[in-house]
Amino acid sequence: MRFTVLAAAAALMITGTPAVPASAGGAQVPEIDWAACGPEHPGFECASVKVPLDYDDPRGATTTVALARKPATDTARRIGSLFLNPGGPGGSGVDFALGAGNALSANLQGRFDIVGFDPRGIGKSDPLHCFASEADLGKFFEGIPGFPYQASQERPFFDRYRSLGPECRDDQRIARHMSTADVARDMDLLRRAVGDRKLSYLGFSYGSFLGATYANLFPDNIRALVIDGVLDPELWSSGRQIESDRIATKEEFREFLRTCDEAACVFGPQSEKRWDALLKSVRAKPIELGGQVFTYDAVINSALGAMYSPSDWPDAAALFDQLSDAAAGSLSVAAEPDYANGFDAYNGNVCADIEYPRDFNAYKAISRYAAAGSEFGPAWWWGNAACANWPVNPDRFTGPWRTRTNAPVLVVGNYFDGVTDFRGAQAANRQLAGSRLLAYAGWGHTAYGVSQCATDHTNAYLLNGTLPPVGTVCPANPNPFLPSVASAEPLFKPSRR
């Protein structure tokens, strides 16, 4: 995708005054009129409900939230509803439920209604639109790189992204009410609407921040809450996520290079030297390959994208091998992914939650800090310029993040997660009193559906409340470059951007 994720540096940290959270208690519980989603989704039901636009005025204006569910198949032993969030922010919970609902239902013995919802402003839930058309969206990106990697690119990029605030805010009510705290209030209202006394939840990536927010706003309303691929909520909400991003992707990418050499992949031997040479070459001059032009930012973003899932590593290594050859003179492929509507929603939620710097010089300084961590740091940082002229939502929640929940939270983290690093899971485990940390010693973003060990422990917790023993570490899967491993696709591919 063309947009990058968020952050800020400790040296230039911007802090907001924590808002007093509004309760969902005064809002009217909606009735859900479930109906078949259509012949293309047999066995699934869809609906939409009205929720308060502003929980400070719970009986006032409303906004629409779209839902989809796979009803429990073991109705005699039905536990309740399991709410999902696939990440982003900007990911569609409806699409996630429709795509993964059957597999999740089977994993959980058919004992849950698997429920996904599009958070407010996203997908089918009164979506935020910053542009009149997809063509206008495309024009927004014309003439600027995926992120600035030369000094001359920084000011034009900043000015373009900064202009997004007024484009998205003006005349759109939902733009002023897209904080994660409001999504958590919606989720508590939906919990009541489906008839559950307590919440069961499985959240990935940004969904971990939604889960942590819910846990702090509604600590007594939890039956079972799993966060997998965990953002440290203190870093994220304060705009300091760059402290993690500047090093986390590099840590996983070093494993990409190490396992590549270990398995004699096409980018080896001495893949680290080839990578450094490739970056030096493409920074000096774009590389033409198969009729496509690869700039420095495109190569970095290709590497960053591959860190989400080790199943993509062999293809990434093949691309880097071809680019390295092409830099000297050779051939072949690779295509840009299609753009979904997540760009608008991502910024709408992030800018509502987090107070970023307003000044161009601050973005430049933090970019230097990010680059000092690794070549991936600036790619994560610069997209936050979209928030430079976008006020935060007064109903956002910025902490304190330390609470004790009525039921223990299961926190799942991978040792080598270049998107939400293991330190985030450790932080959330410290912040949520009584929670249990489950570690996966492998690579990639999130563990459920990737590690059988982590999947089994998560299923046992969701079904029975059984926590893994303290200190449990699930072993890493085999080297991702081995042929039998490379062909295995993960069950889910959550995203943080």
pLDDT, mean over the chain: 90
pLDDT above 80: residue 10 = no
pLDDT level of residue 7 (50, 70, 90 thresholds):
very low
Q: pLDDT at position 407, please? A: 97
Q: What is the mean pLDDT of residues 257-266?
A: 96
Q: Is residue 425 within 8 Å of 394, Cβ to Cβ?
A: no
CA 496/CA 395 separation, integer angstroms: 23
* pLDDT of 13 strictly over 90: no
pTM for the structure as a whole: 0.91
- Judged against a pLDDT cut of 50, whether residue 346 lies above it is answered with yes
pLDDT of residue 296: 97
CA distance 4 to 301: 9
Q: How confident is the model at residue 464 (pLDDT cuts 50, 70, 90)?
A: very high
- Least confident interval from 127-131, 255-259, 278-282, 341-345: 341-345
CA nearest neighbour of 126 among 189, 49, 237, 69: 49
pLDDT of residue 456: 98
pLDDT for 19 beyond 80: no
Q: How confident is the model at residue 341 (pLDDT cuts 50, 70, 90)?
A: low
Q: What is the pLDDT of residue 342?
A: 84
What pLDDT is stored for residue 168 in this prediction? 86
What is residue 8's predicted lDDT score, i.e. its pLDDT?
30
Does position 11 have pLDDT exceeding 90, yes or no?
no
**β-strand pairing of 62-70 with 112-117:** antiparallel
User: Is it the case that residue 68 has pLDDT exceeding 80?
Assistant: yes
Q: What is the pLDDT at residue 232?
A: 98
Q: At 331, is the pLDDT very low, low, confident or very high (cuts 50, 70, 90)? A: very low
pLDDT cut 90: percent of the chain above it: 83
Chain segment 198-222, per-residue pLDDT in tens: 999 999 999 999 999 999 999 999 9
- The lowest-confidence range among 92-101, 162-171, 454-463 is 162-171
Share of the chain above pLDDT 70, in %: 90
> In this model, does residue 64 exceed pLDDT 70?
yes
Class of the CATH domain delimited by 35-127+179-239+400-474: alpha beta
* CATH 3.40.50.1820 domain position(s) in the chain: 35-127+179-239+400-474
pLDDT (mean) for 219-230? 98
Cis peptide before 89 (omega within 30 of 0): yes
pLDDT of residue 6: 30
Residue 487 vs residue 152, higher pLDDT: 152
Of 108-122, 165-179, 388-402, give the lowest mean pLDDT range: 165-179
